[in-house]
Structure 1
Amino acid sequence: MTKEGHGLDKQAVYDQLKNLENQLQQTLSQFTDLQAELTQVFEQNAELEIENQHLRDLLRELQKSLPEDPQTPQGLSKSRQILEKLYEEGFHVCREFYGTRRKQDEECAFCLEVIYRDQ
């Protein structure tokens, strides 16, 4: 091999190493982003599990405290009373947003329709 040929080989190897380094940095960056997103998903999942358990506990308490009559004086069935109570506690009871918190206790026409339709 000539000295010139050797120089080209070294440059090619250096360029390959530089390209590989860039690829590794991009892969590491993607990995870090994905890891952060996954952590956020796990945290959100844990919060939802806690919220879900809270709703189950609240539902059990409400079922114990409501009268056994199928219809109450205000005309709501026991199941609708439970939905009404959950709604009053700040949760959506409509199909679209069921179980999520109502932001700043804003009213939801969908929830009100579920609770009070045919009344």
Structure 2
Amino acid sequence: MNGHHDSNNIYDRFAQVTKQTRELVASMEQLQAQVTQIMEKNAELSIENDHLRTLLKKQHQPQNPDHLSGSRENLKRLYQQGFHVCSEYFGKRLDPHESCTFCIDAIFGHEEGK
């Protein structure tokens, strides 16, 4: 009879450990779902944070009225090297110490879209 009692005790313990294991697995699955949600939210916030930093940098950069687009910078360099950049005389040499109002307007005139 003692052997039968031990068998029941072992079976009961096995059933209890099985139940605890299932509960542990269920708890781990819940934790995994929560970790996944947290990681997804963290990724979203990181992306949003990067976008906001970019916007802040753009807003806090000092506005330089002399800032020229790349193409206007090229025109400015050509003009400084002594060439007309206006549509009227484009490519022709400037006389020494000559300035051209048309060239100045082509370089520094109001850019479209500003």
Give TM-score scaled by structure 1 length: 0.50
Q: Write the deviation string for residues 50-71 of structure 1: whole angstroms up to 9, x where unpaired.
A: 0000000011122237579xxx
2:7 corresponds to which residue? 10
2:18 aligned with 1:21: yes
Unaligned stretches of 5+ in structure 1?
69-119
- 2:41 matched residue in structure 1: 44
> Could you list the per-position Cα deviations for residues 1-38 of structure 1 after superposition, in whole angstroms to 9, with x for gaps in the alignment?
xxx11111101000000000000000111111011101
CA distance in 1, matches of 2:13, 2:39: 38
Gapped runs of 5+ residues in structure 2?
66-114
Read off the aligned partner of 1:56 and give its amino acid letter. R
What's the RMSD between the two structures over aligned residues?
1.9
How many residues end up aligned between the 2 structures?
65
% identical aligned pairs:
34
* Structure of greater Rg: 2
1:75-108 Cα offsets, whole Å, 9 max, x none, are: xxxxxxxxxxxxxxxxxxxxxxxxxxxxxxxxxx
Distance 1:16 1:9 in 2: 10
